[in-house]
A and B are shown apart, each in its own frame.
Chain A
Amino acid sequence: MKAPLSWKTGGLLLGVVFFAAVLLVKPIGVSTQFVILDGILWDTVDSSVVTESTEAKSGYTSSNAYLAKSGGSYAKSVENPLNYSFVFVLALMAGAALSARLRGGVEKAEKSMPAVWRVNFGDEPWKRYLATFLAGFVVLYGARLAGGCTSGHMMSGMMQTAVSGFIFAGGVFAAGIPTALILFRKEN
């Protein structure tokens, strides 16, 4: 198992990207955009979810307390998806897709599940999909409760010496390491 870049080159590049974001705009974050996309979908089904408001600081408010918080800044992003943070995440996906394509794509056997899963839990895709669906649910619920994810809290937070970033990283590894040790005992 080998990554395209060594940890030294890759880590250096990662650091430069996180620095460039702070230098030019603001710290990197991803998980809020799951909320924005949910808001866009919800507002498409029920257009009364996000509405214009002269009282809200952003000019928008929502019937949902979470979208309405902080002066309706999330509600505003839902109404105007062509904003920095949302486009950032779309570009993130495009960048990853380009990189994967240039290295020849993901191997066929890896597409449905990683080798470390297959050796521990067998190769039925439905088991893996059920697990990742539930994991996705828990991860994003946790990220929103924490107010950020690995990018926003851990990397962007700790690089700014934010105390919240250290608290978050402590929680992630306190749960993540024992879980991985228990679940993934066998190696390829």
Chain B
Amino acid sequence: MSSIILAIVIGGAFGFTLDRIGATNPNFIIRMLNLTNLHLMRAILLGIGVAAVLAFGGLLTGLVDPGHLSVKTAYIGVFVGGLLLGLGFAVAGYCPGTGLAAAASGRYDAIVFALGGLLGAFAYMVTYADIASMGLLAEIAGGKTTLGTIAGTNYPALFDLSGELIGLVMGAAFIAVAWLLPERILGSKKHEAPAE
């Protein structure tokens, strides 16, 4: 029962935050991807950075149980699936989480997106055996690999260094990049001298 209460509290906070940062608005996602408004890119990078610093700080101090980590396996399908997701992400301006959040916020095109998503997920369920036999799901880079060695877990490490330290440095780097990114990269409203 307590896990259901946590689901409601954390899930609710996540959905609320997605809407507040503009992630339920496809204008922000599309304009992040066409590089004309990096508001959301900066929020996402800052979010990953803050979460990493807190999590690895928590692991070092013993606040976070390493058993709560859950690292996903690396395989070729991760990249291919990422390409497919990126394609649809750019067309619609929605990903699975933000699409559901946007549908709940009252966007009709997001409801249609979610219905397409249900069919797409179903298509994967029925083609899963074929995908597996094509070798797309074979592990690469050691499988459930992390950048460094994280104490209390048996995830293989890409580098033989403290995973907690790498996590903190990576988190700080994400925060720095969020700060350094401009508001937009392409087509600045202030007229720039044309390249000749």
B77 shortest CB reach to chain A, Å: 5
Chain A residues contacting B9 (CB-CB under 8 Å) are 91
Give bound CA distance, A35 to B96, whole Å: 12
Q: Given contacts A1-B27, A87-B11, A91-B7, are A97 and B86 in contact (CB under 8 A)?
A: no
Task: Output the nearest chain A residue to B98 by Cβ-Cβ distance.
Answer: A150
* 24 examples of A-B residue contacts, CB within 8 angstroms: A1-B37, A10-B21, A13-B20, A22-B68, A23-B55, A66-B129, A84-B6, A111-B107, A111-B109, A117-B26, A132-B94, A135-B116, A139-B113, A140-B124, A141-B123, A151-B96, A160-B55, A160-B70, A172-B82, A172-B83, A172-B85, A174-B83, A175-B86, A177-B33
Contact B82–A168 (Cβ < 8 Å): yes
Contact B89–A172 (Cβ < 8 Å): yes
Tell me, yes or no, whether B64 is within 8 Å of chain A by CB: yes
Contact B93–A114 (Cβ < 8 Å): yes
CB within 8 Å of B: which of A8-52? 8, 10-28, 30-31, 34-35, 37-39, 41-42
Contact A30–B72 (Cβ < 8 Å): no
Contact A140–B26 (Cβ < 8 Å): no
Assuming A98-B15, A135-B88, A146-B82, what are 4 further A-B pairs, CB within 8 angstroms?
Answer: A10-B47, A23-B68, A135-B87, A145-B81
Contact A163–B158 (Cβ < 8 Å): yes
Contact A143–B96 (Cβ < 8 Å): yes
Chain A residues contacting B90 (CB-CB under 8 Å) are 175-177, 179-180, 183
Task: Output the nearest chain B residue to A175 by Cβ-Cβ distance.
Answer: B86
Place the interface of chain A in its size category: 35 or more
Chain A residues contacting B123 (CB-CB under 8 Å) are 137, 141
A145-188 CB mask vs B (1 if < 8 Å, else 0) is 11111111111111111111101111111111101110110010
Task: Output the nearest chain B residue to A128 by Cβ-Cβ distance.
Answer: B109
Contact A170–B79 (Cβ < 8 Å): yes
CB within 8 Å of A: which of B40-91? 40, 42-52, 54-55, 58, 63-64, 68-75, 77-91
A87-111 CB mask vs B (1 if < 8 Å, else 0) is 1111111111111100101100011
Tell me, yes or no, whether B131 is within 8 Å of chain A by CB: yes
Contact A88–B10 (Cβ < 8 Å): yes
Q: How many residues of B contact A (CB 8 A)?
A: 129
A40 shortest CB reach to chain B, Å: 11
Q: Given contacts A20-B13, A66-B125, are A15 and B54 in contact (CB under 8 A)?
A: yes
Contact A161–B163 (Cβ < 8 Å): yes
Chain B residues contacting A137 (CB-CB under 8 Å) are 88, 116-117, 119-120, 123
Tell me, yes or no, whether B121 is within 8 Å of chain A by CB: yes
Contact B84–A145 (Cβ < 8 Å): yes
Identify the interface centre among A69, A84, A143, A152: most chain B CB within 10 Å of its CB: A143
Contact A22–B85 (Cβ < 8 Å): no
Contact A27–B70 (Cβ < 8 Å): yes
Q: Given contacts A3-B22, A85-B7, A179-B91, are A95 and B15 in contact (CB under 8 A)?
A: yes
CB within 8 Å of A: which of B128-178? 128-129, 131-132, 136, 141-142, 144-148, 150, 158, 163, 166-167, 170-171, 174, 178
Contact B43–A14 (Cβ < 8 Å): yes
Chain A residues contacting B71 (CB-CB under 8 Å) are 157, 160, 162, 164
Contact B50–A12 (Cβ < 8 Å): yes
Task: Output the nearest chain B residue to A97 by Cβ-Cβ distance.
Answer: B104
Give bound CA distance, A132 to B113, whole Å: 5
Q: Which 7 A-B pairs have the closest CB atoms?
A: A171-B82, A15-B50, A136-B116, A146-B81, A11-B46, A142-B84, A95-B15
